[in-house]
Amino acid sequence: MTVFYQILFSSVLRHMDAEKVHKLSFAALRGVTAVPGVSEAMTRVLGPREPELTVHALGREFPGPLGLAAGFDKNAESPRGLAALGFGFVEVGTVTAHPQPGNPRPRLARLVADRAIVNRMGFNNEGSALVAERLHHDRDREGPVVGVNIGKTKVTPEEEAPADYALSALRLAPYADYMVINVSSPNTPGLRDLQGVERLRPLVGAVRESLAEAGRSDLPLLVKIAPDLADEDVDAVADFALAEGLDGIIATNTTISREGLESSAEQVEAAGGGGLSGAPLKRRSLEVLRRLRAKVGDRVTLIAVGGIETPEDAWARIRAGATLVQGYTGLIYGGPLWPRRIHRGLARLVRSAGYRSIEEAIGVDAPAPALKVVGDTATAG
């Protein structure tokens, strides 16, 4: 199956419009898994079933640490079908308060030599009201852990961003296992400015008010940050997460950098602007993760994403301090059996390292957070 997919990708898929391929493949998956009993059967075959891969985090039990990152299922059309491919959890979105078409096409391109994708989708989605309705219809069936990623509507002025996020949070909170505030996509003008702590504080406060109004004040709340933040800004976000009691940080989103690519200058130019994901993010995403872990220790759940292609990549993130990992581009280049290969490989690595559970490996390669004295009390930071 893996060899067949690689042949199909090399001979056919790589030459087709990337967004069209995404739509066709996702429609096929939805059609197959809509047949009664199929998604359950696929989950039994492909899902993480090794007991040593179970992870307890964010108040939930994850059957495996690898999840699907936001961006693939923007409108929560089939989180159950995607989980049936073998993911331990699925993050839907990014969802905005109001429907929007996103940026003009073409807006998705591959850099095959770099095993990377460039996207400038611009949060194209059907809006939080419709996504909430879709999740509502699926809530009574036992399914995967589902995170909901929310962002700012493009036409909303930056000063009104807290209210925009709050509306999405209010509508979607009843159906989420955790919620992510996305302030790090490069494809919505001004969005990354919200990563600054002074801009982030009122936004988090507004979302929390909505969670309380929805009766979900205990819903785990995370923030997703960019790899392009300066080190001191990464530190500031870590300090903010501790001070505000955030449940987690997702590191990292796509990058605007084009340094060190193997693709030709012409190919990079043809791919255009936007966020780059895939293998080129590997080093910086790991650096950001290590920096966050050094600041927050195990007091904040860290989810690593960016350049994870192999079980060894995922294993390195977990040992560096990630409790969970996510992929997206790895699935595109690795094919439908990629999640199963990652989880199977992780189980092998856990056993070969002599651990009974992958949870025992979280942060084993990370230094202990430095201590600073505040008054008469030593605290991490």
Q: What is the pLDDT of residue 4?
A: 59
Residue with the bigger pLDDT between 10 and 74: it is: 74
CA dist 224 and 236 (Å) reads 14
Q: Give yes or no: 185 in active site.
A: yes
Annotated active-site residue in 39, 78, 184, 185: 185
Comparison of pLDDT for 24 and 281, the residue scoring more: 281
Predicted pLDDT of residue 197: 74
DSSP label at 69? P
Write out the H or E segment, with its range, that includes residue 90: strand 89-95
DSSP string, 224-271: EE-TTS-HHHHHHHHHHHHHHT-SEEEE---B---TT--S-HHHHHHH
| Residue 147 CA from chain centroid, whole number | 9
Facing residues of 251 across strands?
225, 304
Q: What is the pLDDT of residue 159?
A: 87
Give the pLDDT band (50/70/90) at residue 18. confident
Phi, psi (degrees; rounded to nearest 5) at 101: -80, -15
Binding residues: 70-74, 94, 119-123, 149, 182, 187, 224, 252-254, 278, 307, 328-329
Q: Which pLDDT does position 375 carry in this prediction?
A: 45
Nearest one of 111, 49, 88, 44 to 257, comparing CA atoms: 111
The verdict on domain 2-380 having CATH code 3.40.50.150 is no
Give the model confidence (pLDDT) of 312-367 as tens digits: 999 999 999 999 999 999 999 999 999 999 999 999 999 999 999 999 999 999 88
Whether the Cβ atoms of residue 57 and residue 65 lie closer than 8 Å to each other: no
Share the mean pLDDT of the chain.
Answer: 89
Phi and psi at 377, nearest 5°, equal -115, 135
